[in-house]
Amino acid sequence: MRDAYIVQSLRTPGCKQNRGLFNQTRPEELISFIMKTAVDRTKNLEAKDIEDIMLGCAFPEAEQGINLGRLAGQMAGFPESVSGATVNRFCASGLEAIALASMRVQMGWSEITMGAGVESMTYVPMGGNKPSPHPEYASTHPEAYVSMGITAENVASRYSISREDQDNFALESQRKAAAARDGGLFTEIVPTPAYKFVQQADGTFKKEQFIVEHDDGIRPTTIEGLAKLRTVFSLKGSVTAGNSSQTTDGAAATIIASKEKCDELGLAPIGRLVTYATIGCKSDEMGVGPRYAIPRALKQAGLTIEDIDIFEVNEAFASQALYCLRELGIDKYMDRVNIHGGAIALGHPLGCTGAKLTATCLANLKEVNGRYGIVSMCIGGGMGAAGIFERL
pLDDT in tens, 257-296: 999 999 999 999 999 999 999 999 999 999 999 999 999 9
Residues 277, 298: Cα–Cα separation, whole Å: 9
pLDDT score of 154: 98
Identity of the residue numbered 110:
S
Residue 91 annotated in active site:
yes
To the nearest whole percent, how much of the chain has pLDDT over 70?
Answer: 100
pLDDT in tens, 92-132: 999 999 999 999 999 999 999 999 999 999 999 999 999 99
User: Of the listed 15, 91, 352, 361, which one is catalytic?
Assistant: 91
For range 149-159, the mean pLDDT: 97
State yes or no: pLDDT of 384 exceeds 90.
yes
pTM tops 0.85, yes or no = yes
pLDDT score of 64: 98
Identity of the residue numbered 369:
N
Phi, psi of 100 (to 5 degrees): -65, -40
Residues 50, 299: Cα–Cα separation, whole Å: 32
Q: Is the separation of the CB atoms in 240 and 230 below 8 Å?
A: yes
User: Of the listed 57, 340, 348, 352, which one is catalytic?
Assistant: 348
In the chain, helix, strand, coil percent, each to 5? 40, 25, 35
Burial of 16 (C-beta count, 10 Å sphere; 0-12/13-18/19+): buried
- Which residues contact residue 134 at a Cβ distance below 8 angstroms, ignoring those fewer than 6 apart? none
State yes or no: pLDDT of 1 exceeds 90.
no
- Which residues contact residue 129 at a Cβ distance below 8 angstroms, ignoring those fewer than 6 apart? 61, 62
For range 319-348, the mean pLDDT: 98
pLDDT in tens, 178-230: 999 999 999 999 999 999 999 999 999 999 999 999 999 999 999 999 999 99
CATH level 3 topology of 4-126+246-391: Peroxisomal Thiolase; Chain A, domain 1 (3.40.47)
User: Of the listed 57, 352, 361, 378, which one is catalytic?
Assistant: 378
pLDDT in tens, 346-367: 999 999 999 999 999 999 999 9
The whole-chain average pLDDT of the chain stands at 97
Least confident among 77-81, 226-230, 233-237: 233-237
Residue 281 annotated in active site:
no
State yes or no: pLDDT of 14 exceeds 90.
yes
Residue 348 annotated in active site:
yes
